[in-house]
Amino acid sequence: MAKEKKVQDYDFMYDFLRYYVDIVMKLSYRKIKYVGKEFIPKDGAIILAPNHTNALMDAMVVLGMDHQPKVFVARADIFRNPKIAKILKWLKIMPIMRMRDGYEEVKKNNETIERAVDVLRDRVPFCIFPEGTHQTKYSSLPLAKGIFRIAFQAQELMPDMPLYIVPVGIRYGSFFRFRSTARVQIGEPINVGQFINEHSNLAPAEQMTAIRELLTERIQKSIFYIPNDEDYEAMYEICATVVKHQTKRCKFVVDGKRLRGMDAHFEANNRTVREVMRLKESNPEVAAELLQLGKEAYEMRTQQSISLKSVSAKNGLASRIMQMFFFILKLPYTIPASILTLPMVAVVKFLFTKIKDHAFRNSIRFLINLVLWPILMIIYAAVAYSLLPWEWALPITLALLPAPIVAQETWRMLRLFKSDIKLHNNKPLRDKYKKIRTLFIKNK
């Protein structure tokens, strides 16, 4: 009798297709950067614990960290169909029950824990989103207990092997815009066995609370973190308003290296949050005024459909004018490319009407690009080769390969240029941002 294949076992087809999937994932972003991969422990088993903000894309950017296979968990109800369950297992995804499924269902997680231990014994990274659900905010949700139950029981069942919980912070330039940016930071790992030994004086429930607080702290250090309260939108508006000042005037140095690009932007935003939070304590009246200005700017900007990118842009309108020059140059390619990608756009728009949660939008775009564009390319190549000599058909086919990306980037330029013009023509809003900068710089 053939031995049942484990979820973590090597699969040639899975491994082969991973190259294609990783390429499409990375092309889904203008830039993606992984920070701190060298801190992932090599001497034991690891449980990856990412924050959860952008549905399927969170799993994809974690998976794309390297070519190593990783096993994920997903809510158990999607495994009810046997055929879907088989596909999910091939994709290295395991079911996990949640408290909302009922206590009796949660008790079935013992089997999941046993399988998780088996995965960890084979030194395959096991990934679980400890927040349990996603939210499209630069913040964090309370961590569920599932990850800690798995970690504690796994460590008990394999005392001979070090086990680490590795916080992973994912920060997107935009939750909803396709081909935004993504920054993935590996936080300081938690050695589970060492933690248990150091807190042996605590009861199991107290240990659970302590490690949950520790992981929460380390995840928040790895992300752009804004407290999720009534001042969230105002705080985010302030961050975008002063980010140019923060990155230009502050010399962010970590381990003797000057931070640049996304790293400097990340540090600048987090420092802004910390400075406003300190201002709340030291000078609450000024902080209240600053946050009120941020709230008013947010309301004015969103009412006019002005992108926050126009507010935080490094080089402002002059840079956009230069981009418009390139926009005009690319139009002869962009127009036919946009026409040929219309079937993809139509399918995406249709699916948007069926799934109301906007957090899934980039996941839908990713899947459509992953599956539908190769099919369309085969059709277009067949048409080209049937109508034209191969000397013409081949370069046309090759030229069409980047069509979805070029079309997306070109229309993005136009959208941001229109947003910049709106901001430039809205003097009350620009004055509001000027007041925010002046008040922040004066009191930082």
Domains (range + CATH), the chain: 12-222 (3.40.1130.10), 232-304+428-443 (no CATH), 317-425 (no CATH)
For the chain, give the number of residues. 444
Percent of the chain with pLDDT over 90: 66
Residues 164-174 have pLDDT tens digits of: 999 999 999 99
76 in Cβ contact with 51 (< 8 Å): no
DSSP code per residue over 357-411? -GGGHHHHHHHHHHHHHHHHHHHHHHHHHHHS-HHHHHHHHHHHTTHHHHHHHHH
Q: What is the DSSP string of 306-367?
A: --HHHHH-SSHHHHHHHHHHHHHHHHHHHHHHHHHTHHHHHHHHHHHHH---GGGHHHHHHH
d(CA 69, CA 59): 12
pLDDT digits (tens, 9 = 90+) for 178-222: 999 999 999 999 999 999 999 999 998 999 999 999 999 999 999
User: Average pLDDT of the chain?
Assistant: 90
Give residue 223's Cα distance to chain centre.
10
Torsions phi, psi for 16 (to 5 deg): -65, -45
8-state DSSP, 250: S
List, in sequence order, every residue forming a beta bridge with 166; answer none if it has no partner: 48
pLDDT of residue 414: 87
Q: Is the pLDDT of residue 341 over 80?
A: yes
Angle between helices 361-387 and 342-354 (to 10 degrees): 150
Beta strand 93-96 with 190-191: parallel, antiparallel or unpaired? Answer: unpaired
